[in-house]
Chains A and B, each alone.
Chain A
Amino acid sequence: MSIPKLSRRQFLALSAATAGVAALGSRFVPLPQTITPAGAAEPSLSEGQWIPTCCHMCGGTSGILCNVVNGRVAKIKPNTDNPIGLANVSSDYWQHKSEGAAMCPKGNAGIFTLYDPDRVKKPLKRTNPEKGKGVDPKWKEISWDEALDEIAAKLKALRDNGEAHTLLWFTEDSSFTDIQADFCDLYGTPNYSMHSNLCDVSRKAIFKSVMGHDRPLGDTVNSKYILFFGWNPLSATKWSHLPRTITRGIENGARFIVVDPYCSFTASKAHEWIPIKPSTDGAMALAMANVIIESKLYDQKFVDDWAVGFDQFSAYVKDKTPEWAEKITGVPADTIRRIAREFATTKPAIVDAWSGPGQHSNAVQGGRAIAVLAALTGNVDKPGTIMIPNKGGGAHPPIRVKKTDKPRLDGLSKFPMGHSSGVYTEIISRILDGKGPYQPKMAVVMFQNLVLSIPGTNNVIEALKKLDYVVVDDIYLSETAEMADIVLPGSTYLERYEVIGQWVTWPVVSLRQPVVPPIFGQLPEYDVVIQLGKRLGLKDADGAPFFESLKYEDYISKMIQGGSAKITLEELKALPGAVWMDPKGTQYEKHLAEVKPPEGATVDPKTGSVKDKDGKLVGVKVGDKVHKGFATPTGKLEFFSESLASKKDINGNPIDGLPAYTPRDWYPDDKFPLFLINWKESHHTHSRTFNNPYLMEIQNWNRLAINDVTAGKLGIQDGDEIWVESPYGKAKAIARVTQGIHPEVVGWQHGFGHWGFGKVAKGKGTADGQFNVTKSDPISGMALHKEVCVKVYKA
């Protein structure tokens, strides 16, 4: 590089020669006229201010305080005015609030995400029509106006052509969802889908069918026996209070058992780790029920009063002996017998299951077998048991809209316990096989990396290629953004709003608010939606323009006012820690609340269900009183679900009303002899935190865990480069030889193996989704992240 030395004479000549070539309008304004938010205009502010908000490095939304100094976020610490991050029952929270709260590694590393140099900073337009993995999109920066105008024009053309329903909309599920749903309804597409079906909709279906609530939470602090199937809450923290509340439970005398094919961090802290073959947890649970019933250790009064279908269930498990289960699960019969007895005789006890057993084709029935153990032993909604939370939340602001009558592309309504988040795998499959009711044309993807998140990576890439126009809004140039026609720069949680009203057991409403303005002047995702809605002139059912003068602050203020807090956004901001909570705190045994049935109500003699004259369930008669009961079809806990038994799964197969065990569809064979599972740890979320060096410093490679005996047979040593191969993909990995995994199972942490995204994330580890089949469970539509079989050999 040659560096010219310029004289002042040359300055003048150069200035003259280039006059008019380019002129940059001033990016500065004189100070007195400018009030930039968040202290940017206060250079003397040396200590800055502490602004309460909520984390979103994962969907857990723990309460945090951000120190903003000179317009820059300098420090993040826990906000003890917010129970999320401290406790999930109110007595524990109030008693221990002064001890402080914790943040997980992701929360502590949040500042880097805000200031990551690899963030998308400006709207980018693809100029290379060819799309594919690793194909350079040849991005071109365009202005926000150009970007929004272009997207709106595409949307308008589709709608004017009567094809509004061919728009697919994908989003993360814990941020700005309400306004996106409104947009889709007003625009006229039924295809609004969210992340949940990649996460835990099978668990939602399980507990919804057994207990009538889709997100129960364990009161571990007050428990004496904690039994988890396939859950790693001490590391895959979700809410940063979990490691505290579980270990506090142990301190208080609880015995802690973890059933999992992998000795997770959580299992390593348990009194006992029980390795089990993946997807067979339901069989172990049935055998436990067999023992508990045979030994008459169940809570007969509770079952008589508060459950239906016990006799059928009891008959069904009669031959589901520990010996029967041992053959399926690989767990010794004696162990099952012992755990069953311990669990049934130690009160109060918690039994819970999450994504371990939840991401296989038999997830819902297997999970129900686990959930009914709580009903069998009377461990429901009491202190120290699994709790039915009282959500405080925000209410969706009222909107009058006539929804389209076009069917969804994914056939969601055919899934008997499908979740409103949709079924991503079906969408991908329909795009590829063309067997849906129509071919989708356009997709908007908000804050999601579909390519690394949906099982069957190549299918996702091919499906995205088949769409005419793809918009991605993200903070990174993710592998999905690589497939986009336009990328909009997303916002981080430190630059935007959200109302949070769940994750603890009593009504609490907390606020996420921008602690700094969007650092590149970009629009937060909700404002993108508003701008598009405005450009399209979307109107509600009364013909009133919905987005025209809509301000998001007003929208969420309505959400807060409609929830249990019944206060405005400004009032919530002014509360300590920007948190409102119900002073009544956690309520137990809410099903016991007495209700007065209306005139003409009838009682079902078999179940005790009390229904009004329109057939709507209004309560449950137990003895001579009518109680509120549970939110199931019968108002009671359901060993047998009439509702499920009357339906067929997505494949047209009848569903057993009992939590019957059936093996999952895909089992290891001679060719692919090992189960492949995946998991998450505290230092990463999904596939989205992998460009953060503070987190990559903790773990930047997902080596494949393989049992030492298995490794020995295959001649694989710790650290060896190996091939992992399934019928759908083959890739290199590095072996981690350990005793901490079942000998028939290999597994690794999810989210690695980026080929785009950012310079820190790129090329680290192996992407797990490439080995999978693009399928979901046939009842709830849960993506099958863990139903994979592979062979492993030295590279």
Chain B
Amino acid sequence: MKPASTKRTDSSDKANLLRKALVTHVVRNVACDNHEIEAARGEKAIVALARANIYNLLASAYAEPPSLQVVRAIADGTLLRAFRDVGLDHVAAELDAFVPGRDAKDLLEEMEIEYTRLFVAPGPDYVPPYQSMYSDELSDGSTALANDGKRLDKRQLWGDSAVAAERMYLEAGLAVTGELREVPDHIGLELQFLQHLCGREAEALNTGRILAAEESVRLQLAFLETQLAPWIDRFCQAVGNAARHPFYRGIANLTLGFVLSDVEELRRQASVIVDGAMGSGDVCSV
């Protein structure tokens, strides 16, 4: 058996460039008020791609230790601006105060330790990044008490939430890789699954497959409503409380804000779709 490597495997540079180009393009042209369906579809695709990017960014924050790139993005103010742009000014300020005069390698190690303390190594501040630890029943229904009179927490990994998550992955034609095996309801996997769905939506829109795009949106909403949204609040609150490092506090704030906003937006879209208004004026209301 080959060891499962957790070496960071960046997406191809080509894909990154393309994504950057697309997004830059959108940001530059976002003010357009074009009601033509083609254009609307194109813009929807761009939004979907942007969402895919954000899901990927968030997934990477939880699925693997921080990289030097992240540290650089903190140091050069990129993340600072990003947090400010979405109204997380106090996080940005904390992050700002955190960086000056620090060696990138020291910063990286500090963040690696913080990441490990929060999401990997069980200890006093461990925030288990698995849905089953939030969504599943606290106990097996047994009323038996431990001999100190307390009910014991019997939630375990790979609970019903993990089975349900994996089922949805499989239904979407995706399986968790053997190489980087994780329990299916790890926050990183759930976020990345949404990245895949958003990517599919964008691709379907770009190739004019409206029904496939709608199917992807339906899956996104279903997954968000049944899997990710029900626990994201408690998870992010827990991270926010346990994190000593402003980066992870910021990421937790951002995750919660983004996921809740996305659910809301998808719900709104879904109601539009149900009303038969697909492709009408709503699509451009970015």
Would A15 and B50 count as touching, CB distance under 8 A? yes
Would A20 and B65 count as touching, CB distance under 8 A? no
The answer, among A18, A111, A527, for a CB contact under 8 Å with B53, is A18
A635 to B115, CA, bound (A): 64
Q: B53-87: which residues lie under 8 A (CB-CB) from chain A? A: 53-54, 56-57, 59-61, 63-67, 69-70, 73, 78-79, 81-82, 85-87
Interface magnitude class on chain A: 35 or more
- Give a binary string over B101-114; 1 marks a CB under 8 Å from any A CB, 0 the rest: 00000000100110
- Chain A, Cβ-Cβ closest to B154: A693
Whether a CB of chain B sits under 8 angstroms from the CB of A115 is: yes
Residues on A with beta carbons closer than 8 Å to the beta carbon of B180: 27, 521
Q: A91-134: which residues lie under 8 A (CB-CB) from chain B? A: 111-112, 114-122, 124, 127
Of B5-13, B208-216, B220-228, the stretch lying at the interface with chain A is: B5-13
A269 to B30, CA, bound (A): 81
Would A25 and B166 count as touching, CB distance under 8 A? no
A167 to chain B, nearest CB (A): 21
Whether a CB of chain A sits under 8 angstroms from the CB of B141 is: no
Whether a CB of chain A sits under 8 angstroms from the CB of B271 is: no
Residues on B with beta carbons closer than 8 Å to the beta carbon of A541: none
A679 to B250, CA, bound (A): 50
User: Provided the pairs A3-B260, A7-B261, A145-B5 are in contact, do residues A31 and B158 lie with their beta carbons within 8 angstroms?
Assistant: no
Would B46 and A27 count as touching, CB distance under 8 A? no
User: Provided the pairs A19-B53, A27-B182, A140-B109 are in contact, do residues A111 and B156 lie with their beta carbons within 8 angstroms?
Assistant: yes
Task: Name, among A23, A112, A138, the residue most crowded by chain B CB atoms within 10 Å (CB to CB).
Answer: A23
A483 to B6, CA, bound (A): 24
Would A31 and B174 count as touching, CB distance under 8 A? yes
User: Provided the pairs A22-B60, A141-B112 are in contact, do residues A118 and B122 lie with their beta carbons within 8 angstroms?
Assistant: yes
Would A8 and B286 count as touching, CB distance under 8 A? yes
Would B286 and A15 count as touching, CB distance under 8 A? no
The answer, among B27, B144, B236, for a CB contact under 8 Å with A12, is B27
Of A33-41, A193-201, A429-437, the stretch lying at the interface with chain B is: A33-41
Whether a CB of chain B sits under 8 angstroms from the CB of A160 is: no
A18 to B254, CA, bound (A): 12
Would A31 and B63 count as touching, CB distance under 8 A? no
How many A-B residue contacts, CB cutoff 8 Å? 300
Whether a CB of chain A sits under 8 angstroms from the CB of B133 is: yes
- Give a binary string over B1-37; 1 marks a CB under 8 Å from any A CB, 0 the rest: 1011111111100001001100110110010000000
Residues on A with beta carbons closer than 8 Å to the beta carbon of B126: 118
Residues on A with beta carbons closer than 8 Å to the beta carbon of B237: 1
A568 to chain B, nearest CB (A): 19
The answer, among B63, B171, B192, B258, for a CB contact under 8 Å with A6, is B258
B16 to chain A, nearest CB (A): 6
Would A112 and B69 count as touching, CB distance under 8 A? no
Residues on B with beta carbons closer than 8 Å to the beta carbon of A138: 113, 117
A31 to B172, CA, bound (A): 9
Residues on A with beta carbons closer than 8 Å to the beta carbon of B133: 117
Whether a CB of chain B sits under 8 angstroms from the CB of A467 is: no
Q: A526-584: which residues lie under 8 A (CB-CB) from chain B? A: 527, 531, 551-552
Would B183 and A139 count as touching, CB distance under 8 A? no
Would B61 and A31 count as touching, CB distance under 8 A? no
Would B162 and A72 count as touching, CB distance under 8 A? yes
Number of chain B residues close to chain A: CB under 8 A: 114
Residues on B with beta carbons closer than 8 Å to the beta carbon of A30: 173-175
A367 to B258, CA, bound (A): 70
Whether a CB of chain B sits under 8 angstroms from the CB of A301 is: no
Would A28 and B79 count as touching, CB distance under 8 A? no
Would A14 and B181 count as touching, CB distance under 8 A? no
Whether a CB of chain B sits under 8 angstroms from the CB of A606 is: no
User: Provided the pairs A517-B181, A700-B147 are in contact, do residues A11 and B158 lie with their beta carbons within 8 angstroms?
Assistant: no
A90 to B175, CA, bound (A): 46
> What's the dominant secondary structure at chain A's contact region?
loop
Residues on A with beta carbons closer than 8 Å to the beta carbon of B256: 1, 3
A466 to B59, CA, bound (A): 41
Residues on B with beta carbons closer than 8 Å to the beta carbon of A120: 121-122
Whether a CB of chain A sits under 8 angstroms from the CB of B267 is: no
User: Provided the pairs A17-B82, A120-B121 are in contact, do residues A28 and B3 lie with their beta carbons within 8 angstroms?
Assistant: no
A693 to B79, CA, bound (A): 42
A546 to B38, CA, bound (A): 64
Would B120 and A701 count as touching, CB distance under 8 A? no
User: Provided the pairs A4-B86, A25-B11, A43-B170 are in contact, do residues A19 and B16 lie with their beta carbons within 8 angstroms?
Assistant: yes
The answer, among A18, A22, A72, A144, for a CB contact under 8 Å with B158, is A72
Whether a CB of chain B sits under 8 angstroms from the CB of A759 is: yes
A36 to B166, CA, bound (A): 12
The answer, among A117, A140, A521, for a CB contact under 8 Å with B130, is A117
The answer, among A71, A476, A760, for a CB contact under 8 Å with B153, is A760
B277 to chain A, nearest CB (A): 17
Residues on B with beta carbons closer than 8 Å to the beta carbon of A696: 146, 152
Would B181 and A518 count as touching, CB distance under 8 A? yes
Residues on B with beta carbons closer than 8 Å to the beta carbon of A6: 86, 257-258, 261-262
A765 to chain B, nearest CB (A): 10
User: Provided the pairs A27-B176, A27-B188, A517-B178 are in contact, do residues A124 and B121 lie with their beta carbons within 8 angstroms?
Assistant: yes
Would A21 and B117 count as touching, CB distance under 8 A? no
User: Provided the pairs A27-B176, A41-B170, A700-B147 are in contact, do residues A521 and B181 lie with their beta carbons within 8 angstroms?
Assistant: yes
Q: A659-705: which residues lie under 8 A (CB-CB) from chain B? A: 693-694, 696-697, 699-701
Would B79 and A18 count as touching, CB distance under 8 A? yes
Whether a CB of chain B sits under 8 angstroms from the CB of A5 is: yes
The answer, among A10, A115, A122, for a CB contact under 8 Å with B6, is A122
Would A16 and B113 count as touching, CB distance under 8 A? no
B57 to chain A, nearest CB (A): 5
A3 to B229, CA, bound (A): 14
User: Provided the pairs A6-B261, A117-B130, A521-B180 are in contact, do residues A40 and B82 lie with their beta carbons within 8 angstroms?
Assistant: no
- Chain A, Cβ-Cβ closest to B64: A24
Residues on A with beta carbons closer than 8 Å to the beta carbon of B159: 115
A24 to B16, CA, bound (A): 11
The answer, among B73, B147, B155, B179, for a CB contact under 8 Å with A699, is B147
Residues on A with beta carbons closer than 8 Å to the beta carbon of B90: 2
Whether a CB of chain A sits under 8 angstroms from the CB of B274 is: no
Would B157 and A21 count as touching, CB distance under 8 A? no
Q: A135-158: which residues lie under 8 A (CB-CB) from chain B? A: 136, 138-141, 143-145, 148
A18 to B255, CA, bound (A): 14
Would B23 and A15 count as touching, CB distance under 8 A? yes
Whether a CB of chain A sits under 8 angstroms from the CB of B276 is: no
B258 to chain A, nearest CB (A): 6
Residues on B with beta carbons closer than 8 Å to the beta carbon of A522: 4
Whether a CB of chain A sits under 8 angstroms from the CB of B99 is: no
Would B175 and A41 count as touching, CB distance under 8 A? yes
A697 to B173, CA, bound (A): 41
B59 to chain A, nearest CB (A): 5
The answer, among B82, B117, B148, B152, for a CB contact under 8 Å with A18, is B82
User: Provided the pairs A4-B87, A6-B257, A28-B169 are in contact, do residues A697 and B142 lie with their beta carbons within 8 angstroms?
Assistant: yes
Whether a CB of chain A sits under 8 angstroms from the CB of B137 is: no
User: Provided the pairs A7-B261, A21-B57 are in contact, do residues A477 and B156 lie with their beta carbons within 8 angstroms?
Assistant: no
- Give a binary string over B129-168; 1 marks a CB under 8 Å from any A CB, 0 the rest: 0100100000000101111100011111111001100110
18 contacts between A and B (CB under 8 A): A4-B86, A4-B87, A6-B262, A11-B258, A11-B286, A12-B23, A12-B27, A24-B188, A28-B192, A36-B178, A116-B157, A124-B120, A139-B113, A148-B3, A519-B181, A697-B145, A697-B152, A760-B153
Given contacts A11-B50, A16-B20, A143-B7, 19 further A-B pairs with CB under 8 A are A1-B237, A6-B86, A8-B47, A12-B26, A12-B30, A15-B50, A22-B61, A22-B69, A24-B63, A24-B188, A26-B196, A27-B182, A30-B173, A34-B178, A141-B64, A477-B122, A519-B183, A520-B182, A521-B180
Q: What residues of chain A have their CB less than 8 Å away from a CB belonging to chain B? A: 1-32, 34, 36, 40-41, 43, 70-72, 111-112, 114-122, 124, 127, 136, 138-141, 143-145, 148, 476-477, 517-523, 527, 531, 551-552, 693-694, 696-697, 699-701, 758-760
Closest 8 pairs (CB-CB, A-B): A521-B181, A25-B9, A521-B4, A15-B50, A24-B60, A4-B257, A693-B152, A115-B156
